[in-house]
Amino acid sequence: MKSYQDRWFVPIDREGRQWAPVEGAVDTITEALRDICFTLRAKDYLDLPPLVNNQVEVRLPSHLQAEYRRLEREMLLQLASEAQVTAVNAAARSGKCHQYAQGALYVDDETGEKKWERIHDEKIEALRR
C-alpha cells in the first residue's frame, strides 16, 4: 500500500492525512484498470425526473413506544424472548433506537455472532396501506 501511495500520490498536509494524485496519475491508473473495471457517471446515463419526497409518519403502538423510551433512557432492554439489548455508549444507543424504530434489533450474543430479532412490522404495514 505504501509503495502505491508514494508512487501515485503526494501529501497535501503536514500530518499526511490528506493526499492528492500526482500529475497524470488518475489517467494512468484508469488506463491500467480499464480491462477489469468500468466507470459510470450519473451525468452520462441518467435522465431522471425530479425527486419527490413522500414522508409517511408511522406511530408505534403505546406498548412499543414505552419499550423504545426504556431503551433510550436506560440503554438496556430485555425482550420478551429473553434476549438482551445493550447500548454501551450514546452512539450505540442512537443506533439501537434507530434499529428499534425500523422494526428489528441486533441482540447481545455471547458467541459473537450477529443475531437479530424482529420487534414489529409497523413500517411494513404502513407500506402496504
pTM: 0.61
Cα-atom radius of gyration of the chain, to the nearest Å? 24
The dihedral formed by the CA atoms of 93, 98, 102 and 104, expressed in degrees to the nearest 10 = -20
What residue ranges do the domains of the chain occupy?
Answer: 2-45, 62-128
Do 19 and 9 touch, CB atoms closer than 8 A? Answer: yes
Q: What is the pLDDT of residues 69-122, one digit of tens each?
A: 999 999 999 988 888 999 999 999 999 999 999 999 999 887 878 899 999 999
Q: What is the DSSP letter of 12?
A: S
